[in-house]
Amino acid sequence: MFNKTTSAKITKYYQIFNELTDDSISTLDIIKKNIKHQSINRLYQYNKPIYIKCIKGIVLLALSKEDEAHIEYYVVHRVVKLNKNVMFNFVSLTKTSIVEMYIEPHAKRKVINLDNEYTIPRIKPSFDVNQVYAYYYQVKGSPYFFSGEKHSYWEITYVDTGQLKTTVEGKTHVLNDKDVILYGPNQFHNQFIDSNRVCSYLTIMFEMNPTDYDSIINRPFHIHRNVYPIMQNIMKVTTNDSYINEQLLLVYIKELVLQLFQYDYVQPQTLSTPVQQRFEDELLNEIVVYINENLSSPLTVESICQKYAISRSTLQSLFKKNLDVAPKHYINECKLAKSKLLIKENKYTLSEVSDMLSFTSIHYFSRTFKKRFDITPSEYAKSIYK
């Protein structure tokens, strides 16, 4: 996502003002620009500072002080006073936008043609789940045999408990507890049970329009911890018919399919039993509360392990599995977040903030802060006080 021009991390390109005053612009020329283009192939440069204000739509400001390999993009928010010699251009994120530029009368403009045309990436759906035709939950025992069918729509089968076998395009797959399979349009498939276990499973038939779906068909997926909450939501909304649940079902099916598209690229997390998960949740909550209440102490992984009588590997696994982060990283994130709040209060020097949060030195605090937020603590403080 793009930063707003009010982001504290950028000071090299411009200054920000809440509003223009008559005194500041009384001698400036005003140029109103209608922005419709969705890409850029040139940049502009003035030898004097200029003011920029968006008065309609959402405008993206493309900025560079070097060359086209270092273009950065920011959504125009409030009034931007662009420094002289900064190269820039505009892109409209909405269908059309309008900006006003306030320029000194004798300022000279330079046009820099780019080697390539740059189109701004946008967040758009790659596919949609357009309609759910039917869904039903079944419990079948052995022997059970469904001779098979093919149809123009999609179908999901999710095995809640038990074992179900299915043959798709001549290949047989075994679906066990918490396995799911997607049948694509016009794929012939059958289902059967030949074990002694009773099988409970959910079937959903729906319309979907992905353009490339080879990676999600002709294979079963095991619902690991990352995806399990989505299946729980699907199971929940399919037990109670209502307009809201029907709309949620469309969303949850799409979310499930998106997770299956990236299934091979995400480190799976195994499901815990309810008792085990409750224990992990309670332990993790205690540790998180302890960390946040003791940010002024020199917290270490070793001291936490000692306090809660757990091994280092157990603590690492607990944080990675439930928060997808290492405990040391979590502690640093908490301290840095707290440091921003203390800086905003404007009651303490940066050295005092560093000491209050038990950083080893002001220099280490500054380096860590800069690495995390791409701005030094002093620059951050100046941007707030200003």
| CATH code for the part of the protein at 3-119 | 2.60.120.10
Better pLDDT: 68 or 334: 334
DSSP per-residue string spanning 70-119: G-EEEE--SEEEEPTT-EEEEEESSS-EEEEEEE-TT--EEEEEEEEEEE
The model's confidence at residue 341, banded by pLDDT at 50, 70 and 90, is confident
The model's confidence at residue 347, banded by pLDDT at 50, 70 and 90, is confident
The model's confidence at residue 298, banded by pLDDT at 50, 70 and 90, is confident
Mean residue pLDDT of the chain comes to 88
Residue-wise pLDDT for 87-141, tens only, equals 999 999 999 999 999 999 999 999 999 888 888 777 788 899 999 999 999 888 8
- Please report the sign of the dihedral spanned by the C-alpha atoms of residue 266, residue 270, residue 274, residue 280: negative
pLDDT at 273: 60
**Domain spans, the chain:** 3-119, 129-265, 272-386
pLDDT at 306: 92
Structure tokens at 76: 């125009």
Better pLDDT: 282 or 11: 282
pLDDT at 275: 58
- Return the ∠ at Cα 314 (arms to 311 and 320), rounded to 5°: 140
User: What CATH architecture is 272-386?
Assistant: Orthogonal Bundle (1.10)
In one-letter notation, the amino acid at residue 250 is: L
Lowest-pLDDT range of 51-55, 57-61, 121-125, 368-372: 121-125
The residue-averaged pLDDT of 308-314 equals 90
Structure tokens at 31: 């140029």
Give me the torsion for CA of 134, 139, 144, 148, rounded to 10°.
Answer: 10
Return d(Cα 242, Cα 255) in angstroms, integer: 20
DSSP classification of residue 267: -
Phi, psi at residue 180, to the nearest 5°?
A: -135, 150
**Identical fold between 129-265 and 272-386:** no
DSSP per-residue string spanning 151-213: -SSEEEEEEEES-EEEEETTEEEEE-TTEEEEEPTT--EEEEE-SSS-EEEEEEEEEE--S--
3-state helix, strand, coil in the chain (%, to 5): 35, 30, 35
128 Cβ contact list (under 8 Å, min separation 6): 208, 209, 254
pLDDT at 17: 81
The model's confidence at residue 270, banded by pLDDT at 50, 70 and 90, is low
The position carrying tokens 């102490």 is 297
pLDDT at 4: 67
pLDDT at 277: 66
User: What CATH architecture is 129-265?
Assistant: Sandwich (2.60)
pLDDT at 152: 95
